[in-house]
Amino acid sequence: MGGIGHVRRGWRGPRHEGSRRLVETGLVSPEQSDQPLAMTRRSFLQSGTAAVAWSAAATYIPTTFAAAEKPLRVGLIGTGWYGKCDLFRLIQVTPVDVVSLCDVDKRMLSEAADLVSQRQKSGKKPRTYADYRKMLAEKDLDIVLIGTPDHWHALSMIEACKAGADIYCQKPTGVDMVESQAMLAAARKYGRVVQIGTQRRSTPHLIEARERYIQSGALGRIARVDICCYWHMRNRDTLVQAPDTAPPEYLDFDMWTGPAPMRPYNRIVHPRGWRAFMEYGNGIVGDMCVHMLDMTRWMMDLGWPKRISSSGGILVDKAARANITDTQEVTYDYGDLQVVWTHRTWGSDPDPKYPWSATFYGDKGTLKASVFSYDYQPLGGGSPVHKDVGMELEEYPEDKTEKDLEKHCAPAIRGHMRNLLECRQTRGKPVADIEQGHISSSSCILGNIALQLGRTLAWDENAQKVVGDNEANRLLARPYRSPWTHPTPKNV
């Protein structure tokens, strides 16, 4: 088949999901490996309905979901921007009864309850909770959506697994590698279907681009993919503009902070500004690179990179309170293929049409792909092809007026939700299964660790460790603030 940069015709499923490897790395026990969602690939493919599910997850194209007779009982943890966005897309594609909402912001929670009562068919207001543990203790939910800040993903997702729910969790999986490993272990231990919100895998025009130009071999041998984000998205507020203050009375800031280090509150942090601080996430790499890296991995059937290196830092905007990088490059080395991430929150875009995108360079052509469009350019003659995103606004007119909705992303989220619903029925792995989310999210974490240490990391996917680097391995788990306990694959 040639080198790793060569992509075969057709799709044969992820190459890095076997139960043997999960057992070897301690992510699941031998007993857990016998459960349906922890089968070996061979036994999974041998089961009839599961084989259909595998195929659907691998080459998934969104279709209309056949509604269950009884509405699914749904709960949402984190009722902010994307939590509601995900929930409302689920309401659009299947009958649900949204019975529970949880948030530590009383005002945001109340507003979400009002909106849900307007959007769901029953008109009912859901129960509201300030503590996700109390919500999940009811053990009466079919699906739990998680839309919290990143530092809360792991604990709430693991608890939802224990409560017997299937899960839609926003990306990335966790803020550190061990969190992410524990989330994967919990999903397999409790037999839960978990879809991660890397919805490029369910974006119709990107599915088309993948099949027509990459899986078909039209690009030829691909040896480099450039992935990037040049949006000026890093918060620029200074200490004078955003001084430390007491948190608003409607926000339980101690619970909001949870296992993360306690920082003084400032108005940047909440709502929606917390990504400016590494304490709560992994900067622009953990926010934007994870999408483009995951899309590249899906399009090309890639697993873990072999080596990861990074350079950059806060090179321009040194006055801002934000402590995430304003400039960074990460190289993911797959041997005969290099995937190179670049972000820069200052200056101009190299290609204003593709400021957040992936460019696949093959010896027969080039493909540029983003959430908005794709462009295929063959070498040596032939006609270029351009395709824009379809927003489905006439099919879902409520999208036209929904506050803060990224209309170009709504079709992909609906597709992602349909895939989750189908896999709930078959108990198969969804297209953005937790293990795929773990690989993409953890690869971004490794990129930040490489930058922090100033050296290239060699990754051992079997051992789930950095080769010969104890200092790097110590950074795979962040300290948790008391009284919270850091999850591990063995204690879930």
Distance from C-alpha of 426 to C-alpha of 202, rounded to nearest angstrom: 18
Q: 174 and 291: one domain?
A: no
Residue 7 lies in a domain: no
Instruction: Name which of 470, 465, 468, 463 is nearest 446 in CA terms.
Output: 465
pLDDT in tens, 73-95: 999 999 999 999 999 999 999 99
Q: Annotate 324-348 with DSSP letters as a single string.
A: S-SEEEEEEE-SS-EEEEEEESSS-
DSSP-assigned letter for residue 280: G
Q: Transcribe 108-147 into DSSP letters.
A: HHHHHHHHHHHHSTT-PPPEEES-HHHHHHT---SEEEE-
Give me the mean pLDDT over the 233-250 stretch.
Answer: 98
Give residue 381's pLDDT: 84
- Is 170:149 a contact under the CB 8 Å cutoff? no
- Helices 177-189 and 153-162 pack at an angle, to 10 degrees, of 10
Q: Tell me the CATH number at 56.
A: 3.40.50.720
How much is the pLDDT for 69?
Answer: 67
Are residues 93 and 228 part of one domain? no
d(CA 60, CA 198): 14
User: Residues 346-356: what's their mean pLDDT?
Assistant: 97
Average pLDDT score over residue span 359-363: 98
Give the pLDDT of residue 380. Answer: 87
Whether 399 maps to a domain, the answer reads no
Domain that holds residue 308: 218-389+441-474
Of the candidates 459, 406, 377, 475, which has an alpha carbon nearest to the alpha carbon of residue 179? 475
Q: Model confidence over 294-324: pLDDT tens digits? A: 999 999 999 999 999 999 999 999 999 999 9
Mean pLDDT across the stretch 148-175? 98
Average pLDDT (130-154) is 98
H or E stretch covering 443: helix 434-453
Q: Which of 443, 2, 459, 15 is nearest to 222 (CA)?
A: 2
The lowest-confidence range among 54-63, 84-93, 249-258, 359-368 is: 54-63
- Tell me, yes or no, whether 193 and 256 share the same domain: no
Identify the CATH number of the domain in which residue 296 sits. 3.30.360.10
Query: How many other CB atoms sit within 10 Å of the CB of residue 118?
Result: 9
**Is residue 10 a part of any domain in this protein?**
no
Region 143-154: what's the mean pLDDT? 98
Task: Please check whether residues 415 and 450 belong to one and the same domain.
Answer: no
How many residues would you count in the chain? 492
Note whether 271 and 377 are same-domain residues.
yes
Provide the CA 418 distance to its chain's centre, in angstroms: 17
At residue 19, the pLDDT reads 42
One domain, residues 177 and 148: yes
Do 376 and 247 lie in a common domain?
Answer: yes
* Domain count across the chain: 2
Q: Is residue 11 part of a domain?
A: no
1 in any annotated domain: no
* Averaged pLDDT, 385-396: 97
From edge to edge, which strands make up the β-sheet containing 194-196? 127-129, 96-102, 72-77, 143-146, 166-169, 194-196
If one counts every other C-beta atom within 10 angstroms of the C-beta of residue 386, the result is 11
Residues 191 and 238 in one domain: no
Q: Give the helix/strand (H/E) hosting 412.
A: helix 410-426
Spatial separation of the C-alpha atoms in residues 108 and 101, rounded to whole Å: 10
Pair 280, 274: CB distance under 8 Å: yes
Are 331 and 445 part of one and the same domain? Answer: yes
Mean pLDDT of 284-298: 98
Cβ 89 vs Cβ 63: under 8 Å: no
pLDDT > 90 in the chain, percent: 85
Chain segment 27-46, per-residue pLDDT in tens: 555 444 444 443 333 333 33
Q: What pLDDT sits at residue 52? A: 35
d(CA 341, CA 145): 29
Cis preceding-peptide flag for 483 (omega within 30 of 0): yes
User: Of 11, 20, 418, 421, whose CA–CA distance to 188 is shortest?
Assistant: 20
Q: For residues 226 and 155, state if they share a domain.
A: no
Asked if the structure places residue 91 within a domain, the reply is: yes
Residue with tokens 């189908």: 422
Give how far Cα 395 sits from Cα of 138, 219, 417, Å: 36, 34, 16
Identify the sign of the CA torsion 353, 436, 194, 209: positive
3-state secondary structure of 289: helix
Same domain for 251 and 324: yes
**Sequence-ordered strand ranges (E) for 363-484:** 365-369, 373-378, 385-388, 457-460, 465-466
The average confidence (pLDDT) of the chain is: 89
Chain centroid offset of residue 335 CA: 25
Instruction: For residue 433, give both structure tokens.
Output: 């299964």
In this predicted model, what pLDDT tens digit does every residue of 426-450 receive, in sequence order? 999 999 999 999 999 999 999 999 9
Looking at the fold, whether 170 and 294 belong to one and the same domain comes out as no
Strands 327-333 and 457-460: unpaired
Decide if 484 is inside a domain. no
- 186-237 confidence digits (pLDDT tens): 999 999 999 999 999 999 999 999 999 999 999 999 999 999 999 999 999 9
Q: Is residue 492 part of a domain?
A: no
Other Cβ atoms closer than 10 A to 28? 25
Listed as own residue / partner, the contacts of 103-106 with beta carbons closer than 8 Å and 24 or more positions apart are 103/77, 103/78, 103/79, 103/128, 103/130, 104/130, 104/251, 104/252, 104/253, 104/255, 104/256, 105/79, 105/80, 105/250, 105/251, 105/252, 105/256, 105/270, 105/271, 106/130, 106/250, 106/251
